[in-house]
Amino acid sequence: MTALHTPAHAGIPAGDVPTWTMLVDGAWTPAASGALDDVVTPAHRGRVIARVARAGREDVDRAVRAARAAFGPWSGEHFTVRQRALARIADAVEARSEELARLTAADTGNALRTQARPEVATLVDLFRYFAGVAGEVKGTTLPAGDGQLQYTRLEPLGVVGAILPWNSPLMIAGFKVPAALAAGNTVVLKAAEDAPLSVLLLAEICAGFLPPGVLNAFSGLGREAGAALVEHPGVDKLSFTGSTEVGRGVARHAGERLVPASLELGGKNPSIVFPDAVGDDLVPGLLASSRFARQGQSCTAGSRLFLHEDVHDEVLDRLVTAMGALTVGDPLDEASDIGAVINAKQFGAIDDYLRAGREDPAMSTALGGTAPVDGPLTEGYYHLPTVFSGARNEFRLAREEIFGPVLVVIPWREVDDVVRMANDSHYGLAAYVWGRDLDRTLTTAHRLQAGWIQVNQGGGQVVGQSYGGYKDSGMGREVSLEGMLAGFTQTKQVNVRLRG
């Protein structure tokens, strides 16, 4: 395993692994309790690659106070000050992109070549994009007659409490941090305890270009640091990405305190293939949309594949061949297409779904179906690509978010039926439609209940697009200028009587 980054701020001697503290008010400090959490790489069971300070209630309170103190001066700056800071951060992140990518591969298990590097590239784009639109936080004036000046200001909300999951920490930090800062807010950022390292390095880079307290960052347990942030009266906005279950709790607290919350939650996303979709680009597109290269640990994974009966066998065959050819291995190995799933708990949960799939006589195992039983892959939390065919939409494997490299294939014949099945889910995050007849594909796209539909492509979010879920997949939008304005500002109306 390649040597890991040793952070410049590593301050606490803790044996032979680096120790990361937390960024509060521009300084790196240990947790008040002195508690540390081990960060274990998914590539090797039990191998501790770092220790991180475990933030508690007192630490969260200090971070929120620092962010409150920094808010006035930061929000009072001309927008070009924020713009310059974000643009410089983008350059600095780009300059250290390999380091960030290696760190993210090591702590998330996402393969370096297929996932970690592209994720850092997206992060750079996001900082540049929000730097570019920082001057668009504009109000309006009303044609209210000569005796009146009536205008609005879009003002920042204050302190944003941002909570990240472990699956794509840098990209999701990029959805929140630059947008919140560009609009003039300050941020308290909580990394997921399973994959905090690249987020802390990002914070270190950002701190070089921001006044103290504008961005504060720490790792910690959800029920401690996460809950403390959600409940803190000094937080003016909550921006959460994670599971639907935890998201509901965040929304409940936000409701009680009457602070706005945006939630990006889970998904069980349909991918609908029409017969005329079959061509050379279909299988690569389906591979991308499956997010198998991220071990399926993506909320936007097209994990319910609806194949039209006329092309079912042909597409399944080609897809299984392509998925079977993917290399699963050490995330830091350039040869790996697929890395490791995040931890023992997630590994076990996927195993349970595989068992349920194998034991269901209605389904066939078209690919995989079991975790590796011997060899080097058993040293880490590695799962192999699995495809179950012959599924029906009401099966458990077609309804629950597995968050692993497991695809269920469901045959269909009539468009109305497939649209009904696709929409028969409490989730509504993303969907994919594949076909050459644009009338038909777009009409289908418009009928689907999801916040993000892709037609004939399966890649990830691109800067400037709207991103967010319908139904239990969340509320609020990110990644776009419109999302930033709606999510990180509030409108003030000013009516002035002019004496002439």
Min. distance of Cβ 474 from ligand NAD in angstroms? 6
Q: Which residues contact 373 (CB under 8 A, 6 or more apart)?
A: none
Q: Which residues contact 196 (CB under 8 A, 6 or more apart)?
A: 20, 39, 52, 107, 169, 219
**C-beta of residue 215 within 8 angstroms of C-beta of residue 203:** yes
Selected from 158, 165, 178, 296, the binder of ligand NAD by CB under 6 A is 165
Where are the alpha helices (H) located in 57-96, listed in sequence order? 57-76, 79-95
Q: Quick one: which of 317, 31, 62, 320 has its CA closest to 196?
A: 31
Measured from the CB atom, the residue of 172 and 407 that comes closer to ligand NAD is 172
Min. distance of Cβ 422 from ligand NAD in angstroms? 18
**C-beta of residue 104 within 8 angstroms of C-beta of residue 119:** yes
Selected from 192, 201, 287, 407, the binder of ligand NAD by CB under 6 A is 192
Selected from 226, 428, 460, 476, the binder of ligand NAD by CB under 6 A is 226
Residue 152's DSSP bridge partners are 493
Residue 39 corresponds to which tokens in the numbers above? 């960060």
Measured from the CB atom, the residue of 175 and 395 that comes closer to ligand NAD is 175
Selected range binding ligand NAD among 90-98, 164-172, 328-336, 364-372, rule: CB under 6 A: 164-172
- SS3 assignment, position 121: helix
Binding mask 407-436 for ligand NAD (x = CB under 6 A): ----------------------x-------
Does position 117 interact with ligand NAD (CB under 6 A)? The reply is no
Measured from the CB atom, the residue of 263 and 282 that comes closer to ligand NAD is 263
Min. distance of Cβ 250 from ligand NAD in angstroms? 6
Q: What's CA 21's distance to the chain center, in Å?
A: 23
Q: Quick one: which of 212, 210, 215, 153 has its CA closest to 190?
A: 215
Selected range binding ligand NAD among 17-25, 38-46, 72-80, 186-194, rule: CB under 6 A: 186-194
Min. distance of Cβ 166 from ligand NAD in angstroms? 5
Measured from the CB atom, the residue of 172 and 366 that comes closer to ligand NAD is 172
Binding mask 196-225 for ligand NAD (x = CB under 6 A): --------------------------xx--
- Candidate list 264, 314, 379, 394, residue with the active-site label: 264
Does position 405 interact with ligand NAD (CB under 6 A)? The reply is no
- Residue identified by tokens 């005796």 is 147
Q: How many residues bind ligand NAD (CB under 6 A)?
A: 31
Q: Measured between alpha carbons, how far is 431 from 408 in angstroms, rounded to an integer?
A: 15
Where are the alpha helices (H) located in 109-260, listed in sequence order? 117-132, 169-182, 197-207, 227-231, 244-257
DSSP state of 463: T
Q: Measured between alpha carbons, how far is 43 from 105 in angstroms, rounded to an integer?
A: 9
Residue 366 corresponds to which tokens in the numbers above? 């078209």
Min. distance of Cβ 140 from ligand NAD in angstroms? 30
Residue 475 corresponds to which tokens in the numbers above? 């509320």
Selected from 5, 51, 117, 190, the binder of ligand NAD by CB under 6 A is 190
Measured from the CB atom, the residue of 249 and 275 that comes closer to ligand NAD is 249
Min. distance of Cβ 176 from ligand NAD in angstroms? 10
256 tagged catalytic: no
Does position 193 interact with ligand NAD (CB under 6 A)? The reply is yes
Does position 474 interact with ligand NAD (CB under 6 A)? The reply is yes
Selected from 100, 105, 177, 265, the binder of ligand NAD by CB under 6 A is 265
- Quickly list DSSP for 441-459: HHHHHHHS--SEEEES---
Q: Helix crossing, 197-207 with 79-95: angle to 10°?
A: 130
Selected from 52, 86, 101, 227, the binder of ligand NAD by CB under 6 A is 227
Measured from the CB atom, the residue of 74 and 129 that comes closer to ligand NAD is 129
Q: Measured between alpha carbons, how far is 134 from 178 in angstroms, rounded to an integer?
A: 9
- SS3 assignment, position 94: helix
Min. distance of Cβ 448 from ligand NAD in angstroms? 16
Measured from the CB atom, the residue of 274 and 403 that comes closer to ligand NAD is 403
Does position 251 interact with ligand NAD (CB under 6 A)? The reply is no
Query: Which residues within the stretch 297-326 sit at the binding site for ligand NAD (CB under 6 A)?
Result: 299
Q: Measured between alpha carbons, how far is 255 from 497 in angstroms, rounded to an integer?
A: 37
Q: Between the CA of residue 432 and those of 265, 298, 435, 453, what are the distances in Å? A: 18, 14, 10, 6
Handedness of CA 314, 315, 321, 322 (dihedral sign): positive
Measured from the CB atom, the residue of 24 and 263 that comes closer to ligand NAD is 263
Rounded to a whole number of angstroms, the distance between the first and last alpha carbons of the chain is 75
Measured from the CB atom, the residue of 128 and 190 that comes closer to ligand NAD is 190
Does position 497 interact with ligand NAD (CB under 6 A)? The reply is no
Selected from 59, 61, 264, 472, the binder of ligand NAD by CB under 6 A is 264
Residues serving a catalytic function are: 264
Q: Give the residues lining the site for ligand NAD (CB under 6 A).
A: 163-168, 172, 190, 192-193, 222-223, 226-227, 230, 241-243, 246, 249-250, 264-267, 299, 401, 403, 429, 469, 474
